[in-house]
Structure 1
Amino acid sequence: MATRAVEAVAADPDEARALAVAALAATRRAKDPDATSVAHRALGLAARVGDDAHTAARHLRAALRVAERHERMTLAAEARMSLALVLDDLGRPAAAVREIDVALRSLRGLRRGRAVMQRALILRRLGHDEEAMAGYRSALRVFRREGDRLWEARALNNRAILHGYHGSHRLAAADLGAAAAIYADLDLPTAAAQVHHNLGFVAAQAGDVPLALARYEQARAVLTREAGVPADALLDLAELLRSARLLPEAQQAAQDAVDTCRRGRLDTARGEAALLLARVALARGNAEEARDAARSARRAFTAQRRHLPAARARAVELGAVIAAGRAHRGTLRAVQEVAAELTTAGWLLPGCESWLDAAQLALALGSLGDRATAAACLDRAAVVARRGPAVLRARWWHLRAVAHLADGDVPAAARCADAGLREFEAHRASLGATELRVRSGGTVADLAAFRLRLAVEHEPAEQILQWSQRCRAAALWLPPARPSGDPVIARDLARLRSVHADLAAAPIGAAHTGRLLQRQRDLEEQVRRRSWQAHGTEEATAAGPPLDVLAAALGDLAFVDLLAVDACLHALVLVGGRVTHRPLGPAQPVLDELHALRFAQRRLVARRGHRGAATLAADHAAADLDRMLLAPLDDLIGDRDLVLAPTGQLQALSWSLLPRCRGRAVRVTPSAATWWRAQRTPRPDGPSVFVGAADPPQALREVTGIAAGTPGATLLAGARALVGDVLHALDGASLGHIACHGQFRTDNALFSALLLADGPLTMYDLSALNRPPGTLVLSGCDTGLSAVHPGEELLGLTSTLLQLGTRTVVASTGPVDDEATRTLMTDFHKRLGTGCTEAAALSAALLATDGDARYSSAGFVCYGAG
C-alpha cells in the first residue's frame, strides 16, 4: 500500500495521501519499518506537490530516520533524494546538494539515475547550467535503458525548461512534446498539464504572447482542479503579463505566488516572486519600491548561495537606480559586471537586458568615452537582441538610434528608429486582442516619441505627418479583433448580463449583492483573459495612405493634426496637398484650460453652484483654447470645414464651444490614417435602427419621434431593447441610433457599456457585428470618452467602433441633459434627412442650440468620416 502511494503521487496526490495514511496505520500494527519509511516518503511527496514544503520536510525526515534506524540504506537514500528537493524549495540549496550527494553513494542503476536527475534540477536552480544539462543527459540514458518512461518524461520536462532559459526554443519544444506523449500514454493528466504550461513558457520566451496565454490558461484549468496552481506556474504567468504591459494583473499573479510560497514555506520560489514584484514595480515607474524589493530578493538569494538569481536581482536593483536618476559611472561598471556574469552563465535574455541598461546609462552620461562604452555594450547585446522577443529587439534599435544621434548622425538615427518600429509593428500585428495591442504601445512609447521628435526637429512637414500617423493610435490601424465570435466569450457575456439584471433587482444592502458583484468581476476577468488568446490575422501593414492620396480624399477639407512632443504642442495642417508645420507652444496651459472647461460644463449640466460664474468660466476657457489651438492656424484653414486629429489628452474636448468651431463642420479622428480608412469604407444599405432604453425617460420619446419620421426604420424601444435583438438589427444597418445611459469604465474601457433592457452592451458584444452600421449615434453620457494609453493609443467605444468598420460615430464626451439631448438629436436627424453629412448636421444643430442647453449639447462630437 505504501509503495502504491508513492506511485500514485504523480497521478493523484489526494489518493496518494489517503493510501499513505492507511499504510501508516497498518504498519504501526505490523511494525514494518520499510512500509513506514515508504509511507512517510509518499506523504512528503504529496505535500510537496501541494506546495507545502514544511509538511513535506517533516515527513521525509521521518522516512529517513526510520530507514537509517533499521539500516535500510536504499530506502534512506531515496528519502534523502526527495528531501533534497524540499530543502531546495525551503531556500537551502547547499544542504540539498549535500543530501543528494550522500544519497548517490548508496544508489545504483535506475534509482541512481533518478537521483542524478534530481541533482541536476537543484543545480539548474543554483545556476550551474552546464553541469545540470550533463546530469539530465546521463539520467535520460539510464531511464531509456531501463524503460522507466515516467522518469524519462520528468527529465525531458526539466531539461526543456533549461533549454528555454538559454533561448533554445526548438529543443525545448521537442523535449516537451516527447514528455507530453509519454504522460498521455501513462494517463497522467496533471503531469501533462504541467508540460502544457511549460509549452506556454517556451512560447513566452519566444515572444508569442497569445499562444503562451492560451497554454497557461488550458494548463491552469487542469491544475486548479487536480492539485492547485503551483507557485512556479503563477510566476511564469506573472512574467508574461508583465511583458504584455498588463501590469496590475502581473502584480496580482506575483502576489498570489508570494502567498502560495508563504503558506508552504517555499523560500526559494518566494525569492523569485519578490524579484518579479520588483520588476513589475519598475515597469510601473515605482523605482524606489523596485529597488527595495530587488535588494531584499538579492540578499535572500545570496544567503541561499544562489549566485545567478542574486545577479538577476542585482540587475533589477541597478535598473531601478538608473530609473530613479541616481546612477553614476560606478553604477555603469556594476551593470556591466552583472551583464557579463549573466551572459557567461548562459542566461542570455537577462544578460541582454542588462547590456541594454548599461548602454542606456552610458549614453545618458554623455562623454565621448561613455559613448564608446555604449557602443561596446550594444555589440555585446546584438546577438541576443536580434533574435530575442520583439520588445527587446525594438529597444536595441532604439538605443542604437540614440547613439547615432549623440554622434550627430541624424540619418543613421532615423534608420535605426525605423527598424525598431518595424520590429514592433510585426509583433503588435500578431496580437489579436485590442486590449493587448493598445497596451503593448507602452513598451515602445519612448521609441515612437524619439522618432517623432527626430522628424519634428530635422525633417520636412510631410515626413512629420507620416510619422505622426504611424506613431499615434497605431493599434487602430490593424484588422479588428472580434472576441465575441468565440462561443466561450459569447456565453460569458450572456451570463454577465444576467448578473447585471440580478444586481438591478437586488434591494440595497441585500446580503447577496456582494456575491453578485464578485461574480460580475469574475466573468469580466474571464472574458478579458479569453480575449487575450486571440492571434492577429495579418502581417504588419503600412501605417497610412500616401500624402497625395490623403489630400485627394480631403478635397476642400482642412486636416489639422495636433501632436505633443516634449510637452510642447505642434500643429500639422494639410490643405490643398501641402503640409505646414506650426509650433503652438507649451501643452500644459492648454490642458489646464481643458480641465477648467470640462469642470464648468459638468457644473452647468448638473445645475450645481452659481450658474453665472460657471458660464463665465466655460466661455473663458473655450476662448483661451481657441486662441492657443486654432487662432495660430487662421491663415491656413480659413473658413474650411475641419478634420481634427488631436493628441490623446485633447480627445475629451467639446470642440463646438471653441469660437472658431461654432457653425463649422468638424470631424475628430484618432489619426489621419483612421479618418482615411473610415471615409473610404462603403456604407451598408440596411434600414435605419433606433434603440431606446426605458431609462432615462427621454430616450423612448427621443427615438420614437425620430423613427416616426424615418421611412422603413426599425424601432426597438423599452423592453424590446434587448442586446441580442439590437445587435441583430444593427448588423448591416445604414444608421443606428441608441438612446440610453452610457457607462465609461476607467478600469477597462472595453467594458464601457450602453445600458439596455437586459443589461450592458459592451465593446466585446459589438465586436460580433459582421457589418457594423455606417453611422452610429450614441445618445448618452460619456459615450465618446476614450482611455489614453502610452503611445497615444485610445481605448473606448468610439475608437473601437471606428476600428471595427463604422464610418462615423456621434457621441458625447461628458454628461448630458436629457431634454436638451432629445431636442438636439431631433434636429440632427432632420438635417441628415435633407442630405447633410453627419458633421454638417451636428454643427448646424449645435449652432441652433441656445442658452444653458448648449453646454450639454456641445459634448456631442462627430468622430470618423463625418
Structure 2
Amino acid sequence: MNRTAEAIRQAGELHRRALALGAKAREAEAIRVMRKALAILDGVAEAASERTDWLRAWFRIQVTMAYSQAELGTVAVGIDGLQALRPEIARLPAGPVRSELNGFVDHNHATVLMRAGRDEEGIPLLDSAIEHKERCLAEGTDDPARITESLLASIANRGLAYVITGRLGPATRDLNRAIAIAIEHNLPIRLAITMISLGDLKRRTGDIPGALRCYEEAERICQEQGPDMLSRLRLDRAQALLAAGLADHAGQDLDLVIPHAREQRVYQDLAEAELFRAAAALLEDELTLAKRMATAARRRLLKRGNESWATIAALISLRVDAKRAIGSGRIPARLPALATQLAQQLRTLRLTDDAMLAGTLAARLELLRGDPARAEELLAQVPRPGQLTPIEQRMLLRLCQAELAVAQGNRRKAFAQARAGLNELSRARDRMGGLELVSGTAIHGQELGDLAVRLVLGGGDTAAEARRLFDWLERTRAQTYRYEASGSDDPRLSELIAETRHLGYTLRQARIEGRPTAKLQSRYTERRRAAMRLGWHAASRWGKPRPVAGVADVLAQLGSAGLVSFAVSGDSLLAVVLAGGRVRLVRLGSAAAASENAMRLHADLNAMAPDHLPEPLFDAISASARKHAAALDEQLMRPLTGLAGEWVIVPTGSLYAVPWGALDSLRSRPVVVAPSATAWLAASRGAAPSAGHTALVRGPGLAAAIGEIDKLAAHYDNSTLLAGTDATASRVLETMDGASLVHVAAHGEHEADNALFSRLELVDGALFAHELARLHQPPRQVVLAACELALNRIRPGDEALGFAGALLAGGVGTVVAAASRVGDLPAAAAMDDYHRALGSGASPAVALAEAVSVDPLRRPFVCLGS
C-alpha cells in the first residue's frame, strides 16, 4: 500500500472513531480525533488532492467537524462551516461520491437546525439528504454499509422533526422505517436513538406509558452498547415524567444529566437539562432553583444562537416570577406585558403551544391585577388547544377562562369550565399506566379544583351547596382509587424486584456483619430505580375507571352510618357531612391550626411508642399528646353535632396522620378511613363473603410479644401460619392470593421517593408494595400489625399512597394499620383484642374500635377502606 492510500485508510479509521465518540455526545474528543485525521490527509495533500478517495475522506471529516463545532460552539459556526463546503462539493463530477457528500452536508445542516429548535427548516434538508443517499445506493457505492446507516439516521431525524412539528402520520412512517432498517442491518445504537424518537412521538400524543416503554428499550441497548447516550435518553424521559406530574423523578434524572453534559461540553444538552430542571422545580414550588436553572439555560442558549429554546427558557423564568407575584398578591404591570411580548415571539418562532401558554398567562395576570376587560381581550387572541397541546397548558387555559367567568359574575360558566377541564384531565389520566403515573397527574388540575371549591363556598352553607361541594371533592381527590384492578404479572418487573430484594437482604446482612457496603448500596439503588422505571408502564393493572360517587348512592350505602369528608380552601377547613339522608356543610376554622395539631400529635405518638420509656418522660409526652388530641377533637368533631353509630372519614392532607380513635368523640366508635367516598363505596360494594382462608405471617427480628402470632390462631377455626424460613416473599404473596384475612407481623418502612417501594421485611428480604399487583384475587382484609404503613404519603389531589394505599388500590377491601409508630407490647395486646372480637363475628371497624379504646394513644391503629 502506497503512502497516500495508507494516509486515507488511517484518516478513515480516525473518522469512524470520531463518529462513535459523537454518537456518545463526546464531541470535544471527536474534534481532537478529526484534527489528527485531517493532519494525516494534509500530509499527502500535494500528491493526492485530486484523487476522489482523498477528497471524499477530507469532505467527510469536514462535514462531521462542522456539526461537532456547532455542538461545542454556536449554531452559526456549524452552519457556516457546512455552507462553505457546498461549492467545493459541487465541483466534483456527478456520481455516487457527490451524491453521498451532498447527503452528508444536508443531513448535518438539518441536524444543527433541529438542535436549535428550527425543525421546519430542517425537514426540506432531510428530504434532500434522503434523496441523495438513496441515489448513491442506487448508483452503486463502494461503502454501502456506511451509506445505509447514514440513510437510516436521516430518515429517523426527519421522523423526529415531524414529531416536533406535529405531523404524526409521516413521523410514524419514518420512525418505523428507520427501526426496520436498524434491525435488518444490526445497528443497535441507531435502533436505540430511533426508539428514543419513537418515545418522543408517544409522549407528544399523550401515551406516557408507551413513551416510557420506548425509553426503557433504548436504555437497555444503551447500557450494553453506548452508555454515554444515557444522558440524552434521561433528558427525553424527564419530559415524559413532567407530563405525568412526576416532577421529583424527572428532577432525579436531570440531576444526573447536568454534570455529565457539562463534563462532556455538550452545551445544547446541558441547556435543555437546565431548562427542564427549572420546569420540574416549578412544579414542586422550588422557585429559587427554578429561577436559577431557567436563567442559566437562557444565557447558555443565547450564547449558542438558539433563539427558540432561549425563548422557552425565558417563558419558564417568567412563570416563576408570575407564581411569586400571585402568591404575594402584588402583580406589577411589567409581568403581563412581558408575557404578551413572549407570546408574540413564540408565535413568530412557530412554537404554538408555548405561545398559547404565554398568552394565557398574560391574560391571567391582567385578570388578577383587576382588569377583566384586558384579560378577555388577551384571552380572545389565544388559539384553541391543538391535538398535541400538553395537559398542563390545557388546564391553565381552563383555569383562566373559569376565573374570567367568576370576575364577570357568571358562576355557571365558571363551573362549566372547571368541569370541562377536569374531564380533560380525567381522559389524560385514563391513558396512564402504573399507580405512580395515575396519581401524579393530579397536580395539573389542583388549581382548577381549588377554584371550584372556592366557588361553591361562595354560594353559602345550604344543603344544595353542600351537595355541590361533595360532588366537586369527589371529582378532584384520590382519583387513583377509581380504577378497577385488572391484574397482571410482568416477568421482567418480577425479575428486577426479586434481584432488588436479594440485594437488599445482602446489604442488610453486610451491615450487621460490619462488611463494606458501598458497592452493594450502589447496585441496590440502581436496580431499585430500574424496577421503578419499568413499573411506571409494565405494572399497568388498572382497568376501567369507576364513576364518581354521587350523594344519593353514598347515602343509600351508608344506611344508619355517617360520612365526613374534610376539605381545605385557603386556610379554611370544612366538612361535608352525609348522615340520616341529609347533607350539610360545616365550617371548622383554621386549616393550619388543625394541621399543626395533627402533626404534633403524630410526633408525640412516635415519641411515646417505645415500650420502656422512663415514667416522667412518658407522662410528659402523653400529656402533650392528649392536649393535641383534645384540640383536634374540639375543632374537627365537636361541631359535627348528632354523631352516632359508625362513621366513614375522608381526611385531607395532614389529617391522614390522625389516629381517629384517640379523639374523645370517636372513642369506642367504629370508624373507617377512606381516600374518598368513591373509594369507600367501591370497597363496600365489592365486599365478598369471608369464604377464603386466614393467613398469619411473622417476619424476622420481631420482639417476642408482637411475634407471638401463633396465639392469634386460637381465634380462628382454620388458619395458615408462615414464620421462620417459611415467611418468604413468594410464599406470603401466594398465601395472600384469595385469602379472607391476612395478618402480617413484620417490620416495614415507607420509601419517601417512591411509595410503591414501601416494604415489609421478610426472611428473604423485602416484600415491596409493587408486588401486590401480582395478586389475582386480593384478600378481603389485611392487618399490618408491627409497622407504621398507613396512608402516610399524600400527593397533590389527596392521592394517598404507600403500602396500605397499594393494597386498597389493588382491590383489598379493608386494611388495618398504625397511623404512627406503636410499641411492641401495646401492638400485641391490641391485635389479640382485635382478633378476638373479629373471631366472634364483629366487623373490622367495630373490632378495631373495641381494641383501640382500651388505650387509644398507645394503640394508634386505623381501619382503612371499608
Q: Distance in 1 between matches of 2:180 and 2:227?
A: 23
Correspondence 1:535-684 to 2 at 5 A: 541=545, 543-606=547-610, 607=613, 610-635=617-642, 637=643, 639-683=644-688, 684=690
Q: Which amino acid aligns with 2:239?
A: E
1:715 to 712, 717, 721: 721
Shift of 1:421: 0.6
Shift of 1:692: 2.1
1:507-559: CA deviations, max 9, x gaps? 54734322222232222212211111248667764543332221111110011
1:856 to 847, 852, 858: 858
Shift of 1:163: 1.3
1:450-501: CA deviations, max 9, x gaps? 2222233236211211111221111111123756x11122222222332233
Q: Tell whether the 8 Å contact from 1:434 to 1:480 is kept in structure 2 after alignment.
A: no
Q: Tell whether the 8 Å contact from 1:474 to 1:543 is kept in structure 2 after alignment.
A: no
Q: Distance in 1 between matches of 2:545 and 2:322?
A: 35
Q: Tell whether the 8 Å contact from 1:53 to 1:265 is kept in structure 2 after alignment.
A: yes
Q: Distance in 2 between matches of 1:535 and 1:844?
A: 38
Correspondence 1:519-530 to 2 at 5 A: 519-530=523-534
Q: Which amino acid aligns with 1:855?
A: L
Q: Is 1:754 the equivalent of 2:760?
A: yes
Q: Tell whether the 8 Å contact from 1:644 to 1:668 is kept in structure 2 after alignment.
A: yes
Q: Tell whether the 8 Å contact from 1:375 to 1:403 is kept in structure 2 after alignment.
A: no
Any idea what SS the aligned residue of 1:732 has? coil
Any idea what SS the aligned residue of 1:685 has? coil
In structure 2, what is the equivalent of residue 201 of structure 1?
200
1:174-216: CA deviations, max 9, x gaps? 1111222222232212212211111001111122111111101
Any idea what SS the aligned residue of 2:29 has? helix
Q: Is 1:116 the equivalent of 2:78?
A: no
In structure 2, what is the equivalent of residue 473 of structure 1?
478
Q: Distance in 1 between matches of 2:846 and 2:15?
A: 80
1:766 to 764, 769, 772: 772
Over aligned residues, Cα RMSD in angstroms? 2.4
Q: Distance in 1 between matches of 2:588 and 2:760?
A: 37
Q: Distance in 2 between matches of 1:746 and 1:300?
A: 34
The structure-2 alpha-carbon separation of the partners of 1:648 and 1:540, relative to structure 1 and needing over 3 Å to count, comes to farther
Q: Which amino acid aligns with 1:802?
A: L
Shift of 1:44: 2.6
Shift of 1:416: 0.9
The structure-2 alpha-carbon separation of the partners of 1:746 and 1:152, relative to structure 1 and needing over 3 Å to count, comes to closer
1:433-462: CA deviations, max 9, x gaps? 111111221122112222222233236211
In structure 1, what is the equivalent of residue 140 of structure 2?
none
1:829 to 832, 835, 847: 835
Q: Is 1:139 the equivalent of 2:129?
A: yes
In structure 1, what is the equivalent of residue 80 of structure 2?
98
Correspondence 1:197-596 to 2 at 5 A: 197-230=196-229, 231-325=231-325, 328-377=332-381, 379-380=382-383, 382-384=384-386, 387-458=388-459, 460-480=465-485, 485-508=489-512, 510-534=514-538, 541=545, 543-596=547-600
Q: Distance in 2 between matches of 1:350 and 1:184?
A: 36
Q: Which amino acid aligns with 2:858?
A: S
Any idea what SS the aligned residue of 1:506 has? helix
The structure-2 alpha-carbon separation of the partners of 1:688 and 1:613, relative to structure 1 and needing over 3 Å to count, comes to same
Q: Is 1:742 the equivalent of 2:748?
A: yes
Q: Distance in 1 between matches of 2:149 and 2:620?
A: 79
The structure-2 alpha-carbon separation of the partners of 1:121 and 1:501, relative to structure 1 and needing over 3 Å to count, comes to closer
Q: Tell whether the 8 Å contact from 1:688 to 1:736 is kept in structure 2 after alignment.
A: yes
In structure 2, what is the equivalent of residue 803 of structure 1?
809
Any idea what SS the aligned residue of 2:227 has? coil
1:719-764: CA deviations, max 9, x gaps? 3222222222221111111122232222322222222222222211
Shift of 1:697: 3.0
The structure-2 alpha-carbon separation of the partners of 1:646 and 1:700, relative to structure 1 and needing over 3 Å to count, comes to closer
In structure 2, what is the equivalent of residue 14 of structure 1?
none
Q: Tell whether the 8 Å contact from 1:41 to 1:63 is kept in structure 2 after alignment.
A: yes
In structure 2, what is the equivalent of residue 6 of structure 1?
none
Could you tell which deviates more after superposition, 53-62 or 793-802?
A: 53-62
Q: Which amino acid aligns with 2:88?
A: S
Any idea what SS the aligned residue of 1:290 has? helix
Q: Which amino acid aligns with 1:56?
A: A
The structure-2 alpha-carbon separation of the partners of 1:648 and 1:36, relative to structure 1 and needing over 3 Å to count, comes to same
Q: Distance in 2 between matches of 1:481 and 1:324?
A: 43
Task: State the TM-score, normalizing by the size of structure 2.
Answer: 0.91
In structure 1, what is the equivalent of residue 64 of structure 2?
82
Shift of 1:580: 0.5
The structure-2 alpha-carbon separation of the partners of 1:305 and 1:597, relative to structure 1 and needing over 3 Å to count, comes to closer
Q: Is 1:781 the equivalent of 2:787?
A: yes
The structure-2 alpha-carbon separation of the partners of 1:535 and 1:199, relative to structure 1 and needing over 3 Å to count, comes to farther
Q: Tell whether the 8 Å contact from 2:487 to 2:776 is kept in structure 1 after alignment.
A: no
Could you tell which deviates more after superposition, 61-70 or 552-561?
A: 61-70
1:840 to 826, 832, 846: 846
Any idea what SS the aligned residue of 2:783 has? strand
Any idea what SS the aligned residue of 1:346 has? coil
Q: Is 1:43 the equivalent of 2:43?
A: no
Could you tell which deviates more after superposition, 542-551 or 589-598?
A: 542-551
Any idea what SS the aligned residue of 1:856 has? coil
In structure 1, what is the equivalent of residue 93 of structure 2?
none
The structure-2 alpha-carbon separation of the partners of 1:387 and 1:149, relative to structure 1 and needing over 3 Å to count, comes to same
List alignment gaps of at least 5 residues for structure 2.
Answer: 91-97, 138-146
The structure-2 alpha-carbon separation of the partners of 1:747 and 1:33, relative to structure 1 and needing over 3 Å to count, comes to closer
Q: Distance in 2 between matches of 1:37 and 1:493?
A: 48
Could you tell which deviates more after superposition, 208-217 or 309-318?
A: 309-318
Any idea what SS the aligned residue of 1:512 has? coil
In structure 1, what is the equivalent of residue 89 of structure 2?
107
Could you tell which deviates more after superposition, 557-566 or 387-396?
A: 387-396
In structure 2, what is the equivalent of residue 704 of structure 1?
710
Shift of 1:36: 4.5
In structure 2, what is the equivalent of residue 7 of structure 1?
none
In structure 1, what is the equivalent of residue 144 of structure 2?
none
Q: Tell whether the 8 Å contact from 2:366 to 2:372 is kept in structure 1 after alignment.
A: no
Any idea what SS the aligned residue of 1:59 has? helix
The structure-2 alpha-carbon separation of the partners of 1:42 and 1:523, relative to structure 1 and needing over 3 Å to count, comes to closer
Q: Distance in 1 between matches of 2:475 and 2:324?
A: 30
List alignment gaps of at least 5 residues for structure 1.
Answer: 1-25
Shift of 1:782: 0.6
Q: Distance in 2 between matches of 1:752 and 1:475?
A: 17
Any idea what SS the aligned residue of 1:689 has? strand
Could you tell which deviates more after superposition, 47-56 or 212-221?
A: 47-56
Could you tell which deviates more after superposition, 463-472 or 816-825?
A: 816-825
Any idea what SS the aligned residue of 2:609 has? helix
Q: Distance in 2 between matches of 1:306 and 1:450?
A: 38
Any idea what SS the aligned residue of 2:857 has? helix
Any idea what SS the aligned residue of 1:632 has? coil
Could you tell which deviates more after superposition, 197-206 or 398-407?
A: 398-407
Aligned positions, number: 828
1:688 to 678, 687, 694: 694
Any idea what SS the aligned residue of 1:138 has? helix
Q: Distance in 1 between matches of 2:641 and 2:504?
A: 50
Q: Tell whether the 8 Å contact from 2:343 to 2:356 is kept in structure 1 after alignment.
A: yes
Shift of 1:642: 1.1
The structure-2 alpha-carbon separation of the partners of 1:525 and 1:558, relative to structure 1 and needing over 3 Å to count, comes to same
User: Alignment identity in percent?
Assistant: 28
Q: Tell whether the 8 Å contact from 1:78 to 1:103 is kept in structure 2 after alignment.
A: no
